Amino acid sequence: MLPSSFAYVAPTTVDEAVQALAAGGGDAKVVAGGQSLLPMMKLRLAAPGTLVDINGIAGLDVLEEADGMLRIGALVRHGDLERSALVRDRYPIIHDAARHIADPLIRNRGTFCGSIAHGDPAGDWATVASALNAELHAVGPDGPAVHSARDFQTGMFETRLGLDQVLVEARIPQPVAGQGSAYLKVERKVGDYAAAAVGVVVVLDGDTVTEAGIGLTNVGPLTIDAAAAAASLVGRSIDDAAALEEAGRLAMEASDPPSDLRGPAEYKQDLVRVLTKRALRTAGARARGEQA
């Protein structure tokens, strides 16, 4: 299967990429890893007139902590995150998710930012970015623009990213004292999308939750920011089984999964409830420095 014909542009700077997108007049797409876009183009579900390949832009592979933020550049692959000691030690939710995205071969190409820009509610990274309250830094003809990961997706395969904008970097607040996180995913087999997945971040003062973020993957038309579930935990003990049960129930109520080959809606909703509780227990243990 070959994609439809397209014009190929390989810029070496972000400004050139922005110009190429503008020249494409709304019919241009950025390609980084291409592990979602190229299959769609091969199936002719997508047929951009121009492909702007950002792989030749120096510096977009940045993966480092600076100014209180973890910077994940647009060319950081899932596998880079999986193998990063910094990520493993300080951002367990990212490490958890990286190990279960697609398969190891796809993880060598696909990118964190590309997954988020793709706007697929089955994408794991949009959930992780939402739970971590990430900033998404884009550049367009009018200069830089910053989007919040928590309301970035606007529809199936639609986001706030302008057609003339390049998502150049995600920035994630560095963990504070007492922070723990986890990502739990149930998939039918390696390489499949999640039947359901939950990402959680908690900050503890002693046993008391002072901040929380909860994101849900592939259980609705959008990546879900389960804000009510997260808010319900604040001020309560991470060891309070009733508090975790309530958060699980609220997360479940925030989900709206379809029944499909990955299971009936009721099953997926119950997965959300159970995975939320489990992820909270794991994140809590990690926040206290316990093995989990």
- Does 123 bind other proteins (CB under 8 A)? Our answer is no
> According to CB under 8 A, which one of 6, 112, 183, 193 is a site residue for other proteins?
6
Q: List binders of other proteins among 67-106 (CB under 8 A).
A: 79, 102-106
The candidate with the shortest Cα–Cα distance to 196, out of 130, 122, 85, is 122
Query: Are 98 and 87 spatial neighbours (Cβ–Cβ below 8 Å)?
Result: yes
Min dist. Cβ of residue 78 to other proteins (A): 12
- Does 46 bind other proteins (CB under 8 A)? Our answer is no
- Does 119 bind other proteins (CB under 8 A)? Our answer is no
d(CA 76, CA 114): 9
- Tell me whether strands 135-140 and 143-148 are parallel, antiparallel or unpaired: antiparallel
Query: Are 216 and 226 spatial neighbours (Cβ–Cβ below 8 Å)?
Result: yes
The candidate with the shortest Cα–Cα distance to 12, out of 71, 55, 50, 75, is 55
Task: Considering the complex, state which of residue 86 and residue 106 has its C-beta at the smaller distance from other proteins.
Answer: 106
- Does 291 bind other proteins (CB under 8 A)? Our answer is no
Query: Are 228 and 250 spatial neighbours (Cβ–Cβ below 8 Å)?
Result: yes
Strand partners, 200: 182, 214
> According to CB under 8 A, which one of 14, 28, 51, 113 is a site residue for other proteins?
51
The residue range among 39-47, 132-140, 201-209, 240-248 that interacts with other proteins, by the rule CB under 8 A, is 39-47
The candidate with the shortest Cα–Cα distance to 140, out of 32, 18, 16, is 18
Task: Considering the complex, state which of residue 35 and residue 269 has its C-beta at the smaller distance from other proteins.
Answer: 35
- Does 23 bind other proteins (CB under 8 A)? Our answer is no
Residues that bind other proteins (CB under 8 A): 1-8, 10, 31, 34-35, 38-39, 41-43, 49, 51, 53, 55, 79, 102-106, 108-109, 190-191
